[in-house]
Structure 1
Amino acid sequence: MKHLTIFILLFFMIPAATTAFAGQAKTNTSNLVIHITGFENSNGIAKVVLVNSKKNYNKETPFKGYNFNIINNRVIKNITLPYGEYAIKVYHDENGNHELDTRIFGIPVERYGFSNNARGTFGPPEYEEALFNLNSPKKEITITLQ
């Protein structure tokens, strides 16, 4: 009888514990809808960099990088991401050379933008200006290139 009692207890406790731990391990994710406008044409691609910390904002190794096709002078993309803080940088790689082309003194020739439509005075805006929080099942943002 003792073995039967232990078996019954284990039979009911293990699935309950597994379900409880599975709920704790679940990461909340969000569907981020990105609208990018301000393209003068649909040539080339939109190079999009997603960063998830101040540490990787100015580095060559972002959290994620994307090449999006431009259709009718705009981009609309859905990305599933875990909840957290992010910033987005984008530029129109019109000639497909995978570089932001610049003039003298580093002034961009190709159009570019940041999340929150943040703008820097002499260079890119600070991370905190482009930062947005992803903390709901769906979020839409619009970036207008300059």
Structure 2
Amino acid sequence: MQHFRVTSFLFTVLGSLTLALSASANSSSTLTINVDGLRNRKGQVCLSVFAASIGFPSKTTNAVQSQCIKITDTPLRVTLGQLQPGSYAVAVLHDENNDRQANRNFLGIPKEGFGFSRNPAIRFGPPKFAASAVPVKGSSTNIQIQLKYF
């Protein structure tokens, strides 16, 4: 009888652990991004979400999610789903002429608005991934990105 109780207890504990591990492995989060500071409603806003520094912030092929959204309201609110808990950096472009590119003048200065998660100071070029990374955990995370124009 004692052997049965121990075995039953072990199966209960192992079953609970397996259930907890599979639930956390299958859980995903949503990231809601509030884009503030749009100077007009022309064009679209393009967002790219990166899980690592490779390609951040401009190589959208390295992004885990990337999309462009027509501007309907200001501030613009975008919710992205199916993200595994972890650190992500978001790059945003106000693509005023709908060409999906960050247009620059002859000096290389951006002609369109841009922004990054955590709103880091922009010195000489884009920020590093670590300066823009935000933790995404739980069922939902909300961030605010303030666009900059030169």
Q: TM-score, normalised by structure 2?
A: 0.78
Q: CA deviation at 1:72?
A: 2.7
Per-residue deviation, residues 58-79 of structure 1 (Å, max 9, x unmatched)? 5622221111221233310222
Q: Is the 8 A contact 2:45 2:70 kept in 1?
A: yes
Structure 1 gap ranges (5+) = 1-12
Alignment partner, residue 123 of structure 1 = 125
Q: CA deviation at 1:119?
A: 2.8
Alignment partner, residue 67 of structure 1 = 68
C-alpha distance in 1 between matches for 2:86 and 2:21: 17
Q: Is the 8 A contact 1:33 1:77 kept in 2?
A: yes
Q: Is the 8 A contact 1:114 1:143 kept in 2?
A: yes
Q: Is the 8 A contact 2:113 2:147 kept in 1?
A: yes
Alignment of 1:38-57 (within 5 A): 38-57=37-56
Alignment partner, residue 113 of structure 2 = 111
Q: CA deviation at 1:56?
A: 3.5
- Name the SS for the 1:105 alignment partner: coil
Larger Rg: 1
- Name the SS for the 1:117 alignment partner: coil
Q: Is the 8 A contact 2:57 2:126 kept in 1?
A: no
User: Would you say 1:24 and 2:25 are equivalent positions?
Assistant: no
Q: TM-score, normalised by structure 1?
A: 0.80
Query: Given residue 32 of structure 1, which amino acid in structure 2 is its aligned partner?
Result: L
Across the two proteins, how many residue pairs are aligned to each other? 134
Per-residue deviation, residues 11-62 of structure 1 (Å, max 9, x unmatched)? xx7xx97876454233332221110011111111101010001123256222
Quote the RMSD (CA, aligned, Å): 2.2
57-66 or 46-55: bigger deviation:
57-66
C-alpha distance in 2 between matches for 1:75 and 1:143: 10
Per-residue deviation, residues 86-110 of structure 1 (Å, max 9, x unmatched)? 0000010001111111012310000
C-alpha distance in 2 between matches for 1:58 and 1:46: 15
- Name the SS for the 2:130 alignment partner: helix
Alignment partner, residue 35 of structure 2 = 36
C-alpha distance in 2 between matches for 1:47 and 1:87: 14
Alignment partner, residue 3 of structure 1 = none
Alignment partner, residue 9 of structure 1 = none
Structure 2 gap ranges (5+) = 1-10
